[in-house]
């Protein structure tokens, strides 16, 4: 047995064990920690599958931002946790759910074994056409050129999700600031970290965005990192969350999509189709879209984690 197989086997066992533990553990906070660990382990699995772009995203979202969101939810639900526990479905319905989920999983596993080997793939076609974009990273090529419409619509999904979260604002607080007011503790650890990390985080984010053209990385990973830095500064009490009615905030939220759409429409006269790039100019245009989108994604993700307004402007 070689080392790689041993590593992969242990990883799979570990992922399954953490998943089961996350579901079985009764304490919500412990479950969240389990879930964050699960996200990081999945990111490792993506690395082993040579999908580094997916790994970065999984680590940032599954292991990072989602955990912050869930921890805040746990803290907020603490007072009603015992009431919720009383509503837990009975043994029979839980058993039925387990049987249903188990049989779907088993069926899926069997079906996956029947899939053709080697898997049919569009990778050769991507490789043959990537030159037209002058990009080195095939994933970025697929996301911003061949399947650009999906990426454009995904950005719109994020905006929709934020609008959905904002619907939960109590009417009198509309236009107010999301989240609680965090008190600054000048000598605290959090304030120290919030002063130390963001400059580094911003540099790394810009680097991740820049190399995304040729190496794994890109706007989503970079935007997540920026969002994390912003949230750190807010939670340390160094900066305040902005009121959601601010015009600059709204503008920044849609900036990425607007730039994407504008360049997409410019493609009609310049390159013959919506979302096409003029010959030889693909790379700078794609980087422009990525840079604008990074800012919008960072803001949207940060505001999604902060939730609906809870206090006046």
Partner 1 sequence: MNTLPTLLPEATSAGGYLLVLALVLPFVGVLAALTLGGRHARAVAMLALPLGLVLSLAIVVEAVRSGQTLVYLLGGWAPPLGIALRADGLSAVMLLTTAVILLAVACFAHADFAAPAAGGEARRPFMFWTLLLAMWGSLNTVFLAGDLFTLYVALELLGFAGVPLVCLEERPETLQAALRYLLFALIGSVLYMLGAVLLYGAYGTLDIARLATLVRPEPAAFAAAALMTVGLLAKTALFPLHLWLPPAHAGAPAAASAVLSALTVKGSFFLVIRLWLDVMPGIVTPAAGQLLAACGAAAIFVGNVVALRQKRLKLLIAYSTVAQIGYLFLMFPLAAGLSALQLPTAPAVTGGMLQAISHATAKAAMFMGAGLIYSTLGHDRIADLRGVGRQLPMTMLAFALGGVALIGLPPSGGFMAKWLLLAAALTTGQWWWVVVLVLGGLLTSFYVFIVLVRAMAAVDVPLTPKIVVPRHREAVVLALAGLSFLLGCVALLPLDVVQIGRPALLPAGLQ
- Write out the residues near partner 1 by the rule CB under 8 A: 107-108, 110-112, 114-116, 118-122, 125-126, 129, 145-150, 153-154, 156-157, 159-161, 163-164, 166-171, 174-175, 245, 247, 250-251, 253-254, 257-258, 261, 267-268, 271-277
CB of 62 to partner 1, least distance (A): 15
Q: State which residue, 134 or 238, has the beta carbon closest to partner 1.
A: 134
State the nearest-atom distance from the C-beta of 251 to partner 1, in Å: 6
Cis peptide bond N-terminal to 219, omega within 30: no
Task: Provide the minimum distance between the beta carbon of 197 and partner 1 in the complex, in angstroms, as a whole number.
Answer: 31
Q: Which is nearer to partner 1, 140 or 232 (CB)?
A: 140
The residue among 93 and 245 lying less far from partner 1, judged by its C-beta, is: 245
Q: CA-to-CA distance for 225 and 310, rounded, in angstroms?
A: 25
Cα–Cα distance for residue pair 123/116, rounded to 1 Å: 16
CB nearer to partner 1: pick between 75 and 123 = 123
Q: What is the smallest separation between the CB atom of 179 and partner 1, expressed in angstroms?
A: 17
Query: Which residue lies nearer to partner 1 by CB, 228 or 292?
Result: 292
**Closest distance of CB 300 from partner 1, Å:** 11
∠ CA(230), CA(232), CA(237), 5° rounding? 100
Q: Which is nearer to partner 1, 171 or 183 (CB)?
A: 171
**228: closest CA among 53, 95, 65, 112?**
65
Least Cβ distance, residue 152 to partner 1 (angstroms): 9
Regarding beta strands 309-311 and 177-178, do their DSSP bridges make them parallel or antiparallel, or are they unpaired?
antiparallel
| Nearest residue to 144 (alpha-carbon basis) of 309, 23, 263, 20 | 263
CA distance 227 to 61: 11
């Amino acid at each position: 047995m070689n080392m790689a197989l041993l590593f992969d086997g242990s990883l799979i066992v570990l992922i399954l064990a953490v998943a089961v533990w996350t579901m079985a553990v009764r304490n919500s906070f412990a479950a969240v920690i389990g879930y964050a660990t699960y996200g990081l382990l999945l990111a490792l699995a993506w690395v082993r599958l040579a999908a580094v772009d997916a790994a970065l995203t999984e680590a940032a979202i599954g292991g990072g931002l989602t955990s912050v969101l869930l921890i805040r939810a746990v803290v907020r639900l603490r007072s009603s946790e015992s009431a919720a526990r009383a509503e837990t479905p009975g043994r029979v319905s839980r058993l039925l759910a387990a049987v249903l989920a188990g049989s779907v999983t088993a069926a899926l596993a069997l079906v996956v074994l029947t899939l053709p080997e080697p898997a049919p793939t569009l990778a050769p076609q991507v490789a043959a056409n990537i030159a037209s974009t002058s990009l080195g990273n095939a994933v970025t090529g697929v996301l911003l050129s061949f399947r650009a419409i999906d990426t454009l619509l995904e950005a719109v999904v994020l905006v929709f999700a934020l609008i959905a979260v904002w619907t939960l604002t109590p009417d009198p607080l509309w236009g107010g600031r999301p989240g609680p007011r965090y008190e600054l503790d000048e000598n605290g650890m959090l304030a120290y970290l919030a002063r130390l990390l963001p400059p580094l985080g911003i540099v790394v984010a810009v680097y991740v965005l820049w190399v995304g053209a040729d190496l794994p990385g890109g706007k989503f990973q970079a935007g997540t990192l920026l969002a994390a830095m912003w949230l750190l500064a807010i939670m340390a009490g160094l900066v305040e969350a902005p009121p959601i009615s601010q015009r600059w905030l709204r503008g920044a939220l849609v900036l990425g999509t607007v730039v994407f759409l504008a360049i997409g429409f410019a493609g009609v006269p310049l390159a013959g189709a919506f979302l096409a790039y003029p010959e030889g100019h693909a790379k700078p245009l794609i980087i422009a879209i990525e840079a604008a989108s990074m800012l919008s994604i960072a803001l949207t993700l940060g505001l999604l984690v902060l939730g609906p307004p809870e206090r006046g402007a």
